[in-house]
Amino acid sequence: MAKLTIWPAGKVMKVRPGQSLIQAARSARVVIPQRCGGHASCLMCKVVVEEGELAPPTALERRKLSEEALATGIRLACQAKTVDRDCVVRIPENKLKSVIAAALKRQAAEQDDEL
């Protein structure tokens, strides 16, 4: 069994080799956005491998992701399988969510300045 860590949730879980990232995440109650049911067509389940290792990209991943994306560690969580090595992946933050978070942080800072 290897250790899989999923950010930004910070969940750490034990995984068996050959398990898809999306299955592993689901079993740890981490939601990875997806719409196609794991058929590699929506591309919503992209994750970034930050450390460690996964099985080599599948033929579907090679077809759907550019060489550049694969080289920077981007994988499809519905296709990428675990191996017997620890791995750390990050679910990219939704752009709208990050804009709202930045606005809320700025608003909180302004309120602190007024006090």
Chain residues binding ligand FES by CB under 6 A are 34-36, 38, 40-45, 76, 78
Q: How far is the CB of 25 from ligand FES (least distance, A)?
A: 11
Q: Which is nearer to ligand FES, 54 or 112 (CB)?
A: 54
Strand 2-7 and strand 82-90: pairing?
parallel
* 89 residue type, one letter: V
Q: Which is nearer to ligand FES, 37 or 113 (CB)?
A: 37
Between CA 88 and CA 91 the distance in angstroms is: 10
Between CA 64 and CA 85 the distance in angstroms is: 25
Q: How far is the CB of 37 from ligand FES (least distance, A)?
A: 7
Q: How far is the CB of 33 from ligand FES (least distance, A)?
A: 8
Q: Which is nearer to ligand FES, 58 or 109 (CB)?
A: 58
Provide φ and ψ at 83, rounded to 5°: -125, -175
- Apex CA 57: angle with CA 82 and CA 24, to 5°? 25
Q: Which is nearer to ligand FES, 94 or 107 (CB)?
A: 94
